[in-house]
Amino acid sequence: MPKPIVLIAEELSPATVDALGPDFDVRSVDGTDRPALLAAIAEANAILVRSATQVDAEAIAAAPKLQVIARAGVGLDNVDIKSATTAGVMVVNAPTSNIISAAELTVGHILSLARHIPAAHNALAQGQWKRSAYTGTELYEKTVGIIGLGRIGALITARLQSFGVSVIAYDPYITSARAQQLGVTPVSLDELLEQSDFITIHMPRTPETLGMISTPQFAKMKKSAYIVNVARGGLIDEDALHTALTDGEIAGAGLDVFVTEPPVDSPLLALPNVIVTPHLGASTDEAQEKAGVSVAKSVRLALAGELVPDAVNVAGGVIDPYVRPGIPLVEKLGQVFSGVAHSSPLTSVDVEVHGELSNYDVSVLKLAALKGIFTNVVSETVSYVNAPLLAEQRGITVRLITDGVSDEYRNVITLRGALADGSQVSVSGTLTGTKQIEKIVEINGYGVEIPIAQHHIVMIYADRPGIVAVYGAEFGEAGINIAGMQIARHEAGGQALSVLTVDSPVPDGLLASVRERIAADVMVEIDITE
């Protein structure tokens, strides 16, 4: 078997390649060379990037084998997540890799603004001894306002409190208990702007936060106040900032990020009360190594078919070891389910988890069920990522139901669906024994217990003598070996369900012949795709 191809499109730490291990064909390409990228990505199963490579709709469309896009860092501005999700491609990042580095850089900007460190350095380097020109201000007893009290905001708080500052914060989602735990006073945005001597912003870039600090906000700030942005370019309106700085509405700004990077011809670069750095928030050896190693581990998980805790476009995350064996079982049940329901479109699906498993987070099993249901019925590649989207596009309502009661087995998982013609279909399965054998234990209300294999035939017909002999003879004459069989019925002379395990696929013509001879209400072949 050829090794999966992992494409590294930007310079990453040697530890990243080491973390991938020997199981992959690791290739490199310059992600900023567009023709080279599109040629190389065509064969890739995974691609690792930083911020320079644009993995957009065009690149994703050129990569039919792509399973995972890994961004060795936090932001995902250069990845088209919507196109990736539609294509079933998992997107992962390293959300905690640079938080310490970003927090430390923020503190560095605040100190540099307070003490005019860059300007004083430049003057002295040019032979000018201007002590009085660079008189600064102490942080002690000043008020620092943090907009966005997430992980980075909390780290900044801890570091700044040692300077004896008062920290206030604006964050619509922070609880009072969490703020109290951090030693922060929660306030409104207007209160923060009015009270702060230093303001630092740590929000994601969204349509709602774009330009959230603009002319009205600068008008509320102290004339002696400084503002810092090491989060995302565009959170601060750069034109409004330039006006506020040149008109003396605020004292200065520290910027690590910009709307356009690099900020060629930005008038902000020429202002004496602005300190700038070239997007260095994650630019430490430690952060780069953490990011690379983190996404390399995520790539390994993704290419092994596992869910990834840092996947940004798929629900799930950390999966309990007790839940994990149920994932392949439920995927296969989904394939059986769609096979039995082949005659009519689905309108709803319930994924029912009965037994001890109900005490765990089993949300992943809903994803696994949808992946199995769509695997053999749509032309797209189906993954944990786009399976919910496929259900939504088809108007299928999906529910996860848990119940601690399971009468016959320790755990039973049932997929139950309503069809457009008004009928219903159900398939149940479990894992049995020390070897955790995957078994089907129910189909459409008929109780069976048959190990899941690659090829099954499911038949429902009127129970009468001689039926088994009929289809047994038909399959035998065609060279189809029956490896296992179970028959279930509710009452003698009523409907019977027969599940066969066969060693090879059954030709459509043979199925049609058997269906006609036994007058089967249901006669379907189910081929399980691993």
Catalytic residues: 232, 261, 279
Decide if 112 contacts 256 (C-beta within 8 A): no
What is the C-alpha to C-alpha distance for residues 341 and 391, in angstroms, rounded to an integer? 15
Sign of the four-CA dihedral 283, 286, 289, 290: negative
**E strand map for 444-510:** 446-451, 455-462, 482-489, 495-502
Q: Alpha carbon of 412 to those of 246, 332, 454: distances in Å?
A: 69, 14, 21
Residue with tokens 């330039």: 242
Q: Which among 267, 287, 262, 297 is positioned nearest to 277, based on CA atoms?
A: 262
Displacement of CA 71 from its chain's centroid (Å): 12
Q: Which among 216, 165, 210 is positioned nearest to 190, based on CA atoms?
A: 216
**Per the structure block, which two tokens stand in for 79?**
């990845």
Angle at 380 between CA 374 and CA 383, to 5 degrees: 60
**In this structure, are strands 198-201 and 143-147 parallel, antiparallel, or unpaired?**
parallel
**In this structure, are strands 252-255 and 274-276 parallel, antiparallel, or unpaired?**
parallel
**Per the structure block, which two tokens stand in for 106?**
């923020």
**Per the structure block, which two tokens stand in for 69?**
């896009």
**What share of residues in the chain are helix, strand, coil (percent, to 5)?**
35, 25, 40
**Backbone dihedral angles phi then psi of residue 35, each to the nearest 5 degrees:** -60, -40
Q: Which among 285, 233, 297, 236 is positioned nearest to 261, based on CA atoms?
A: 233
Q: Which residues touch 122 (CB under 8 Å, ≥6 apart)?
A: none
Phi/psi class of residue 141: alpha, beta or left (left: φ > 0; alpha: ψ in -120 to 50)? left
- Per-residue burial over 480-499, b = 16 or more CB atoms within 10 Å of its CB, e = otherwise: beeeebbebeeeeeebbbbb
**Per the structure block, which two tokens stand in for 453?**
């294999």
Q: Which among 278, 284, 132, 102 is positioned nearest to 203, based on CA atoms?
A: 102
Q: Alpha carbon of 205 to those of 77, 201, 258: distances in Å?
A: 9, 11, 12
DSSP state at residue 289: H
